[in-house]
Amino acid sequence: MATIYQVSELAGVSLATVSRVMNKNTRVSDKTKQKVLDAMEQLGYKPNSIAQSLASNCTNSVGILVSELHGPFFAQMMAGIESELRAAGKHVIITTGHSEEDKEQEGIEFLISRRCDAIILHVEAVSDDYLIKLSKGSTPVYLMSRYVEQLKDNCISLDNQLGGYLATKSILNQGHTQIAYIAGPQFKADAFNRLEGHKQALVEAGIKLDPTLFYIGDFNETGGSKGLKHFIDEKLSFTALVCANDEMASGAMKYAREHGYNLPNDLSIVGFDNVIFANYLYPTLTTIDNPVGKMGEMAAKLVLKDVYQNKNLVINRFFEPTLMQRDSSAPLIK
């Protein structure tokens, strides 16, 4: 691998001059510039980004921590972040936290030790205090789908309460009044706020939240099937089921069908997130669109603006979910 020094020799200029033509900021005479360019070409010179990083104290890399690499939700998010960053010549270092506190912390330290210029986190287990302390360090921290008041300028978040509200509201609008709800783990802010929205819609409609028609799932498919099983086993009466995410909705749909339910006539089901497979389900799943891809792009833009001085980028830190009415929910048949 050719070095900058060899280029300078072949071009008959100093090493500093070569560096200058690479970092286009300072002026170099056209003649010498051409000599340098030719020399680079001839040697097939590629700058060593590691050395550049060490000297400039800038790695051009941003760390990303997600809960899981598989899973449609994170995939969309990463795709958004990567494409935006890549276009700006930055690269991403991706690691996982598995929604466990120690693994999340370990992942974060890992990214920091790698000297990322910034880190974008989708963390669930770690505490607000930890994040606040973390953000006082020298590596800028950005949060996806998590809102921490003291860090609000660095948060890209979704109005989960609005989403929860829209989901239940859509069911209420279809005439349902006996509505079961399968929530996500309540330590996750997303899950908590979605439930808040559910409650809000019920209150607004003058309906009491029936504590028996409430189940806390695990955000996985099994959570949905177990939840529905629970409601059925208890012989409860309900015509609609709202789930705090699509995976659980899918599990519930499957369980319902296996137990002779005709969907959506016997039971209306609504999910949340609009992950890719929501549209593959049968019937296609009515859900709340969570624009994670767009949010990922925005997080990347925010980093580009804050950390890489890309001034004229317009930032929107707050996204609103929308209802995707499909076939898994339908007006109540009396």
Partner DNA sequence: TTGTAGGCGTTATCAT
Partner DNA sequence: ATGATAACGCCTACAA
The answer to whether 226 touches 190, Cβ cutoff 8 Å, is no
The answer to whether 313 touches 304, Cβ cutoff 8 Å, is yes
**How distant is the alpha carbon of residue 49 from its chain centre?**
28
Q: Which positions from 40 through 99 interact with DNA, judged by CB under 7 A?
A: 45-48, 51-52, 54-57
- Determine, following the binding rule CB under 8 A, whether residue 265 of this chain makes contact with a second copy: no
What element of type H or E holds 49? Answer: helix 49-56
Q: Which residue has tokens 């890399």?
A: 61
Choose from a second copy, DNA, none: what does 27 bind? Cβ within 5-8 Å by kind: DNA
DSSP state of 187: T
Choose from DNA, a second copy, none: what does 23 bind? Cβ within 5-8 Å by kind: DNA
By C-beta, is 101 or 196 nearer to a second copy? 101
Q: Which residues of 128-143 are buried (b: 16+ CB within 10 A; e: fewer)?
A: eeebeebbeeebbbbb
Choose from a second copy, DNA, none: what does 309 bind? Cβ within 5-8 Å by kind: none
By C-beta, is 78 or 243 nearer to a second copy? 78
| Least gap, CB of 73 to a second copy (angstroms) | 10
Q: Which residue has tokens 């969309």?
A: 76
- Determine, following the binding rule CB under 7 A, whether residue 3 of this chain makes contact with DNA: yes
**How distant is the alpha carbon of residue 179 from its chain centre?**
29
Residue selected from 7, 13, 65, 75 as contacting a second copy according to rule CB under 8 A: 75
Choose from DNA, a second copy, none: what does 257 bind? Cβ within 5-8 Å by kind: a second copy
The CA-CA-CA angle for residues 181, 184, 188, to 5°, reads 140
**How distant is the alpha carbon of residue 276 from its chain centre?**
14
Q: Which positions from 189 through 228 interact with a second copy, judged by CB under 8 A?
A: 221
Q: DSSP characters for 13-33?
A: S-HHHHHHHHSTTS---HHHH
| Least gap, CB of 282 to a second copy (angstroms) | 4
Choose from DNA, a second copy, none: what does 132 bind? Cβ within 5-8 Å by kind: none
Residue 179 and residue 112: Cα distance in Å, rounded?
46
Binding site for a second copy (CB under 8 A): 1, 46-51, 53-54, 59, 61, 68-72, 74-76, 78-79, 82-83, 86, 91-96, 109-110, 112-115, 138, 221, 250, 254, 257, 276-277, 280-282, 293
Binding site for DNA (CB under 7 A): 1, 3-5, 12-17, 19-20, 22-23, 26-29, 31-33, 45-48, 51-52, 54-57
